[in-house]
Structure 1
Amino acid sequence: MVKTKKGNQSFPFAVSLFGSVALKTIKDYDPADKRTFAESLTYVGQVLIARKVSQSFSYQITPTYIHRNTVKIEADPHDIFALGFGSRIKLSKRVSFNSEYYYAFDESKSINARNSLAFGVDIETGGHVFQLILSNAITMIEKSFITETTDNFFGGDIHLGFNISRTF
């Protein structure tokens, strides 16, 4: 078991906070009912609780709160609570297999929302990290992939994502 240590005390997991504000710029509303700037905002708050169990395995639990100032229909919730689960298995020194799943407790009624599921591979080179991701979500930001995913991963609705990061 790997623990974060400071002096004689050890802490078995890491806790981080994440917050974001997103502005919806797409005009998917009736022009006669124009949104204000504030009505186009969505807020996300997350607590990321992670633990490195061994040199090759770690996991994360992510309680999430999303507030949307505007919803499509009145039956859609403004506030959505979700719980995310993630894991990472190092297959070698430079390659890892990752997974992530979000269970939304409150779902929109205006769309057939589904829980987000993703599997990925990280490949580290000298200063780059290449990520290949398979997911039923088509968006990359929390307010969207947690609350607006409509595709069924196991029904064949799988989307390919690709990221590249560079450390300088």
Structure 2
Amino acid sequence: MRLLSTMGLGLLLALLLRVPAHAQDSLLAELSSQLLDSASRAPVLATFKGTRIINGHSVETPGGGTLVFLISHRFGTLNSGAYNFFGLDQASIRLGLEYGLSDHLTAGVGRSSLDKTYDGFLKYRALRQSTGPRAMPVSVTLFGSSALTSLRYFDGLDHTLPRRLTYTVQALVARKISAGLSVQVVPTLVHRNLVDTRRQHNDVYALGVAGRQKLSKRTALMLEYYYRLPTSEDPGTRNALAAGFDIETGGHVFQLHVTNSQGMIEKHFLTQTSGNFFDGDIYFGFNVARNFTLKPRL
């Protein structure tokens, strides 16, 4: 009898010891699986090389602690004739600064010679494309800007500060399809507090489409088109179309392009483009971006 009790007690102890060991093994296996998933999931880098595609923004942000100095330049139209040296005698320029407050959040300011316009914006990188288990298929960056025209008006209308403002909101959605090909779509709303005539729209809705095709390690072909909904078209204006060529040289991104839009911010190229690209109303221009690391990453 005593022998049976001893055997029963031993069996019970063996079962009690086995259950925690089995639970511990399961927990370790689950943790190992999660660590393996995290290690094999990787963000997709360099969907675009710069924060701009041509006229519009890309999903890219500079990263925390990085300052970008951007010079954007447009000459006159090619069909302006030899007297204007085919547009080279005329010019429009924008100088801009943008700073990565974090890897996800960027703030920027700029000044354009066109309409003597000041602008400021915020970009927030909400989602980033990744590969591996539970991969994210696209990158999403949210964009919001305001622009202030500082022209002097003598038309007798009310041009107080609030009426000079224009606002833009965008959702930039991009996917790097392959090592060489990236695409982006950009649903857009532009709101103008003041328009010149009753036939113009205060709210302009548009959809941007852009693509990048790498040609070599440091060069790429860029295309960009913004389609305004028919209910948003103003008389005498056209959709913005642009084609360009990217050259990456160390800390610089140099972009050469042609476009039918003279303006370089959303207020201008989405609502004030009047040139017909295929009739020669083409502005030759360039963007030069230089990155400065002000706060090294740990």
**TM-score bracket for this pair, using the shorter chain length:** over 0.9
Deviation for aligned residue 1:162: 1.2
1:26 lines up with 2:182 in the alignment: no
Residue 8 of structure 1 aligns with an amino acid whose one-letter code is P
Question: C-alpha offsets along residues 101-143 of structure 1, whole Å, 9 cap, x if unaligned?
Answer: 001111123xx10000000111011221111010000010011
Structure 2: distance between partners of 1:8 and 1:23: 46
1:9 lines up with 2:134 in the alignment: yes
Structure 2: distance between partners of 1:142 and 1:153: 18
1:107 lines up with 2:262 in the alignment: no
> Structure 2 matches for 1:116-155, cutoff 5 A?
116-155=240-279
Structure 1: distance between partners of 2:283 and 2:218: 24
Higher helix share: 2
Residue of structure 2 equivalent to 1:95: 219
Residue 234 of structure 2 aligns with an amino acid whose one-letter code is S
Deviation for aligned residue 1:144: 0.8
Deviation for aligned residue 1:25: 1.4
Residue 17 of structure 1 aligns with an amino acid whose one-letter code is L
Q: Which runs of 4+ in 1 moved over 6 A?
A: none
Deviation for aligned residue 1:73: 0.6
Structure 2: distance between partners of 1:100 and 1:134: 11
Higher strand share: 1
Residue of structure 1 equivalent to 2:205: 81
Under a length normalisation based on structure 2, what TM-score does the superposition of the two structures give? 0.53
Residue of structure 2 equivalent to 1:37: 161
Distance 1:51 1:43, change over 3 A: same
Residue of structure 1 equivalent to 2:186: 62
Under a length normalisation based on structure 1, what TM-score does the superposition of the two structures give? 0.92
Residue of structure 1 equivalent to 2:80: none
Higher relative contact order (CA closer than 8 Å, sequence separation 6+): 2
Structure 2: distance between partners of 1:28 and 1:120: 35
Residue 12 of structure 1 aligns with an amino acid whose one-letter code is P
Deviation for aligned residue 1:28: 4.7
Residue 262 of structure 2 aligns with an amino acid whose one-letter code is I
Distance 1:7 1:56, change over 3 A: closer
Distance 1:100 1:6, change over 3 A: closer
Which sections of structure 1, spanning at least 5 residues, go unmatched?
none
Residue 45 of structure 1 aligns with an amino acid whose one-letter code is V
Deviation for aligned residue 1:8: 2.6
Residue of structure 1 equivalent to 2:286: 162
Residue 25 of structure 1 aligns with an amino acid whose one-letter code is S
DSSP-derived class of the 1:163 partner:
strand
Structure 2: distance between partners of 1:18 and 1:166: 21
Structure 2: distance between partners of 1:6 and 1:156: 43
Residue of structure 2 equivalent to 1:47: 171
Distance 1:72 1:29, change over 3 A: farther
The answer to whether the 8 A contact 2:166-2:190 is kept is: yes
